[in-house]
Structure 1
Amino acid sequence: MVSSTVTSGRPGRPPQPNLAFRRLRGQRSPAEFAAAVRRAAREIGERVGCDARYIGRVESGEIRCPNYAYERVFLHMFPGRTLTDLGFAPRSSVRGRRARTGDASPPPGAAAARTGDGAQDPCGACAPPRPYDSPRPPGPGRPDHPRHPCDTYDDHEEGDVLRRAFMTGGGTTVAAVSLGPLGLALDAAAAQRPARRAGASDAGALEETVRRIRLLDDRHGAGGLQRRAAAPLRAAYALLEAGATRQATADRLAASTGELALSVGWLAHDSGRFPDARSHYAEALATARTTGDAALEAHAFCNTAFLARDAGRPREAVRAAQAAQHVARSLGSARLLSLLALREAGGWAGLGDRAACAQALARARALHERGPCDADPEWMSFYGDAELEGLEAQCWSALGEWARAARHAERAAGLQDPHFTRNTALYTAELAGDLARDGRPDEAAAAGTRVLGLLEQVRSSRVHALLAGTARLLLPRRRTPGVAAFLDRYEAGTGVRGAG
């Protein structure tokens, strides 16, 4: 997606927090406010991929000037205000570019922006949004600035391109479209070239890579993306090894390299490549330990616990989740501790310990009810009411309480933000399996059919495996009304007869 990082044009000076925008958010959490932005966008026919991460970057001052799609949405949300009233910098002040005259939102196809001396802007990034354009490459002669100051991390400009690339060319094509413009090397050979010391622009590009991978996974799942995402990770390790010009940059590189390792590990995890995932998680944990990064360490233990549960090592899952909670207590995030308690509950469920599982679930709910706070990690934007219900459903399913699991899975699917397409498919697939095991074939078939519709947008080995299991469970009930139609559609879509 188009980058949301906005360079200030004043190297060495940190971004100034956007206090005006923060005040407008009020008591709403970043995730809740992002949902309000998406609703407002739909009201005026815009499409923006706003999430809690984006809101955080606006409030921190990293995004000094939104692109035109976000501008229209924000002015719709707060009528009578200007961008300056919302705490943003005028476009004319960003890298010295002259303000536009006339309409603040020029129509597609308008002339490219011009620099202050009247020359044509070489990168064209200030041109208004064009929904079907591919990402703009860095301007000539500016290798250290892969992001333009007027660009934002926005679904409007690249969303349709990514969706079409994903469905026609597979996950590798999506990764090429979405990761290619970054200043990181995207091939193995580049990672072996003589290294230079990394600067702030490298750290920013690395942070943006992590965000893009997470966004693609939220929407489409891991299928096909994992191999492509491994190349930026190799380049990130090369940058980390080369060292940085400043200690602050070195710290950012280390944290982002660890987070990228966790993202690549999760893609392997979700694709069923458990040994690869375990290796990446271990690398991230090692990075956290050597740099004393408690937040990264908690995240690495969190992912390790989830992997251990899925790999059939529930006792390891409990130990890793408890280690994560020990580290996370100093971080001040109740939501993080809530998620880690759910990871522990999953391990206890795998061990068949219903009492310990129920205690961990109760603790998770109590912590979750404290609400979000500024200390919540950026990577936790997926964790809300829907994920809480979904993970609890998995615990009851592991304990064989199918009806209870189905109730929570149904709530999870109903609560899930449509932005997280992959999770909607996952919760609905879990619901279908729980209903089938609970002896409710018609309802299971209906849920399975909804998943088949979502598979037009999602490629996740986990979702496919759950759906295959449901099809096998329903095969003996093929004569039940509704089941035959689901099985026929499933078999036609997978090319497998007999629901194998």
Structure 2
Amino acid sequence: MASSTQSPPIQSPSTRSPRPNLAFRQLRGQRSPGEFAAAVRRAAREIGERVSCDARYVGRVEAGEIRCPNYAYERVFLHMFPGRTLADLGFSPRAQVRGRAARAECEAPPSPTVIRPRGTHHPGTPSAPSTPSTTSNTSTPNNTNKPHTTIQLYESHPSGSDPRACDPYAIQTHEESDVRRRAFMTGSTVTVAAVSLGPVGLALGGAAEAAARQGRGIGEAEVGAVEEAVRKIRLLDDRHGADGLYRRAAAPLRTAYALLDAGTTRQSTADRLHAGAGELAISVGWLAHDSGRFDDARSHYAEALATARVAGDPALEAHAFCNTAFLARDAGRPREAVRAAQAASRAARHHGSHRLLSLIALREAGGWAGLGDRAGCEQSLIRAHALFERGASDTDPEWMSFYGRAELEGLEAQCWSALGDWERAAGHAWRAAATASSQTPQFTRNIALYTAELADDLARAGRPDEAATAGLRVLALLDEVQSSRIQSMLAATARVLLPHRRAAGVGGFLERHASLPRAV
């Protein structure tokens, strides 16, 4: 029998047998694929993502059929396993799976479908600068310096389509398209952060490098720049919320600690620099906290606490513990919240600020509420009010500028909400929003937060029409404010109001909420 003159077919990478992803399987541990999928969905909700992860998807990842996840799953996985890269999770580099080269290897590439970002672009709005992925300290390589002529997003294949496609579960896209898409979605907040924080970070970096290179110490000018960076971050957060600021604020923080390493010429300068770097770490930690990056926030707060201990600075220590208590409450660790608040109280004991002790008492109240301890919560609230009524003083820390009657009412509302007393919570949330609007209108983010709390409390108290009205007021502020916390609260309110969609105003709120562009 004559041998065939035809050459054997060349097997493309997309048709070769997949290599199992053992690293990802190890991370799953003893959990079943279904249990792990549930953990993925919970992690996605924590950072405002929506993924339809199930046991089948987990199995396909572990089998190596999904060589690189799409961007939504990437953000979720990096949030679940902070400090790891996609390679650490067993995935292939995106450049090997995505883009023109990968598509050329596929024997049956899908038809391109241009997917436009959700939301409306306003002509004349400046494009935000390219920023890294915003869910982990580990960022994926950025190819924005490479020329691209067209940007197309490829939809995933429906079930039963060509099995030889490159990555059936992933949206195929260039790195540049994702960067542009993130910049478009975050909008003006990132632009403001870039303009306001970029020059600070660069100036501090130059000073630190020059000092280290020349062997000289850091002086008053550099310390003043660190302190100004702290003020600038707080101001931008008050106006715009945390989501677009976090990555930009990390650069001045790194520089501040580089200044500490370079050393100072005088002890008074060293003390100020330690305090400034610690406050900057707390500010960046708060941006991470408010944008749902709890692990990052915990790391920054711990860094600030270590700085406080090294410098022997009880005021900085009290601030770090105070924020740690707030984070622990939000992260579902109420007992840790109580302990951290009590540690903050001990550190602040001799500071002489009644307002600081009042705020710390509210942090403790939040922890007791999370534990369901009504008596402990009420005792802490009574103490917080009594200390607050003693008034402000010159010893109040600069960072407490946000803490007034509105914040007191807002934090108390959160306590009663955690205890399930919705009517009482709604009363305090209404007072918080009204007070903030009249006394501190520049704190746009806080006004939105208090009003979102009010909407949720009203919805759960069985007053859907009033809840929808409050929710619409929050939606009107979201052009100015980018906060995952507020967006999560609105999403929860929308779920509660869904059965009441026929009530007055509720349908309009649900429709407007559903049309919101989702941050990516």
Fold match (TM-score > 0.5): yes
* Cα separation, 2, equivalents of 1:492 and 1:324: 42
Q: Residues 456 and 490 of structure 2 are in contact (CA less than 8 Å); yes or no, is this contact kept in structure 1? A: yes
1:173 is displaced (CA, Å) by 2.1
Q: Residues 189 and 244 of structure 2 are in contact (CA less than 8 Å); yes or no, is this contact kept in structure 1? A: yes
Q: 1:171 aligns with which of 176, 180, 189?
A: 189
Q: Residues 281 and 303 of structure 2 are in contact (CA less than 8 Å); yes or no, is this contact kept in structure 1? A: yes
Give yes or no for the alignment of 1:462 onto 2:482: no
Deviation string for 1:422-446 (max 9, x for gaps)? 0000000000000000000000000
Give yes or no for the alignment of 1:444 onto 2:494: no
TM score, norm. by length of structure 2: 0.62
1:167/1:196 Cα in 2 relative to 1: closer, same or farther (>3 Å)? Answer: farther
* Cα separation, 2, equivalents of 1:458 and 1:261: 22
1:199 is displaced (CA, Å) by 0.6
1:197 is displaced (CA, Å) by 1.9
**Which residue is 1:431 aligned to?**
454
1:415 is displaced (CA, Å) by 0.4
1:182 match: secondary structure: helix
- Counterparts of residues 208-227 of structure 1 (less than 5 Å): 208-227=228-247
Alpha-carbon RMSD:
2.1
1:287 match: secondary structure: helix
Q: 2:504 aligns with which of 481, 484, 490?
A: 481
Q: Residues 242 and 291 of structure 2 are in contact (CA less than 8 Å); yes or no, is this contact kept in structure 1? A: yes
* Cα separation, 1, equivalents of 2:217 and 2:240: 35
Q: 1:402 aligns with which of 416, 422, 427?
A: 422
Q: Residues 180 and 186 of structure 1 are in contact (CA less than 8 Å); yes or no, is this contact kept in structure 2? A: no
* Cα separation, 1, equivalents of 2:398 and 2:203: 24
* Cα separation, 2, equivalents of 1:339 and 1:191: 39
Q: Residues 201 and 251 of structure 2 are in contact (CA less than 8 Å); yes or no, is this contact kept in structure 1? A: no
1:479 match: secondary structure: coil
Q: Residues 204 and 222 of structure 2 are in contact (CA less than 8 Å); yes or no, is this contact kept in structure 1? A: no
TM score, norm. by length of structure 1: 0.64
Deviation string for 1:9-58 (max 9, x for gaps)? xxxxxxxxxxxxxxxxxxxxxxxxxxxxxxxxxxxxxxxxxxxxxxxxxx
**Which residue is 1:294 aligned to?**
314
1:441/1:186 Cα in 2 relative to 1: closer, same or farther (>3 Å)? Answer: farther
Deviation string for 1:372-404 (max 9, x for gaps)? 000000000000000000000000000000000
State the one-letter code of the partner of 2:244.
G
Deviates more, 1:168-177 or 1:477-486: 168-177
2:341 match: secondary structure: helix
Give yes or no for the alignment of 1:305 onto 2:325: yes
**Which residue is 1:78 aligned to?**
none
Q: Residues 452 and 474 of structure 2 are in contact (CA less than 8 Å); yes or no, is this contact kept in structure 1? A: yes
State the one-letter code of the partner of 2:508.
A
* Cα separation, 2, equivalents of 1:314 and 1:296: 22
1:183/1:393 Cα in 2 relative to 1: closer, same or farther (>3 Å)? Answer: closer
Q: Residues 259 and 284 of structure 1 are in contact (CA less than 8 Å); yes or no, is this contact kept in structure 2? A: yes
State the one-letter code of the partner of 1:171.
T
* Cα separation, 2, equivalents of 1:258 and 1:495: 33
Greater C-alpha Rg? 2
* Cα separation, 1, equivalents of 2:209 and 2:482: 29
1:166 is displaced (CA, Å) by 11
State the one-letter code of the partner of 2:238.
D
Deviation string for 1:345-368 (max 9, x for gaps)? 000000000000000000000000
Q: Residues 365 and 415 of structure 2 are in contact (CA less than 8 Å); yes or no, is this contact kept in structure 1? A: yes
**Which residue is 1:413 aligned to?**
433
1:224 is displaced (CA, Å) by 1.5
1:166/1:177 Cα in 2 relative to 1: closer, same or farther (>3 Å)? Answer: farther
1:183 is displaced (CA, Å) by 7.2
Deviation string for 1:80-109 (max 9, x for gaps)? xxxxxxxxxxxxxxxxxxxxxxxxxxxxxx
2:441 match: secondary structure: coil
- Counterparts of residues 362-381 of structure 1 (less than 5 Å): 362-381=382-401
Deviation string for 1:104-163 (max 9, x for gaps)? xxxxxxxxxxxxxxxxxxxxxxxxxxxxxxxxxxxxxxxxxxxxxxxxxxxxxxxxxxxx
Deviates more, 1:430-439 or 1:483-492: 483-492
Q: Residues 335 and 368 of structure 1 are in contact (CA less than 8 Å); yes or no, is this contact kept in structure 2? A: yes
**Which residue is 1:257 aligned to?**
277
Flag as ranges the 4+ runs of structure 1 deviating above 6 A: 165-168, 186-193
State the one-letter code of the partner of 1:454.
L
1:196 is displaced (CA, Å) by 4.3
Structure 2 residue runs without a partner (length 5+) = 1-182
* Cα separation, 2, equivalents of 1:495 and 1:237: 34
1:329/1:184 Cα in 2 relative to 1: closer, same or farther (>3 Å)? Answer: farther
* Cα separation, 1, equivalents of 2:216 and 2:254: 15
* Cα separation, 1, equivalents of 2:468 and 2:186: 28
* Cα separation, 2, equivalents of 1:374 and 1:270: 28
1:271/1:168 Cα in 2 relative to 1: closer, same or farther (>3 Å)? Answer: closer
